[in-house]
Chain A
């Protein structure tokens, strides 16, 4: 349980402290992991083919949650479409194009600040700017743009770190072959950093999939008669469905709420797993 330096431990009371630290670590991990355990145990009984693929009936008390799953995935796709190009290009700007100066420090400051903005404030901003000011209405589009703003700092940071890890010699090799800066970036630097960028993007989008507050006022609905088709449509989403199931529908069987939570958890964990696999796949090739 201890590395070589700590295996010798210490004298008397110190030894006690050291074991206490280990105990706290184990308890902290156990507390956090039990969250996942509880959702799986309580949610599993609700999972059936109809629950996943069916339409809701009787305010969700019967039937399935397919529209919510569909809405969440659609929303992710749109969010990715907005935040990936801008996020990756901003990462390229930070590592490849930026010169030290005012603009660079402004951009760095902006990334830190964006990451610190609470999700509900993104929701208010989305309502005031995308829904009302740009007149996009309550829609998938407005919600995706709001989530994209929120996910941008994750994508930019991941891209920057991945690009920084590409050795300078790769760029120099490209230049020596006659590539200019952009050709070097597109053909050598970005492909070399691909795994890191994908990992960060998938993690960020997984987080966005679980968010409720930013979509609350920008387009999510609890019950809609049909699936969203164009980005102007309103949509249903898993986190909001869970919230309504848990708090607003009297007579809702609890295992259905847990079931919906389990499906959301699986989506988020799958994103995490995918990110880890991308990273591991790269180290395996080494």
Chain B
């Protein structure tokens, strides 16, 4: 399915039609400012909707929702970038920089390692123990296998 179609189906079938490329999203975007518009939500949206393409730059979004809050047509810019990331992962696999978090989720049920060091520290501080769970791995594997 084309990216534009997926946006309409999964995010919003209404607001995206009113985006007139005004650039308010990019004007308020901290990642755009810091990267001299190498990250540019207006361009990313335009590219997805008009050309049906996405590129690596989507990973520079800080997910701060400033663009989405500012948008005069209430286009869900941040949610659309998140959707593009999911499409990217489907096409190219999970990027290397996210893999360690996912491995931790499988092993511990947390995105970070929480083991005996952390629990000893908690005990010293009078905090209750943290237990691992395999329920999260089971959810992930079940959906992956479907």
Partners in one complex: no
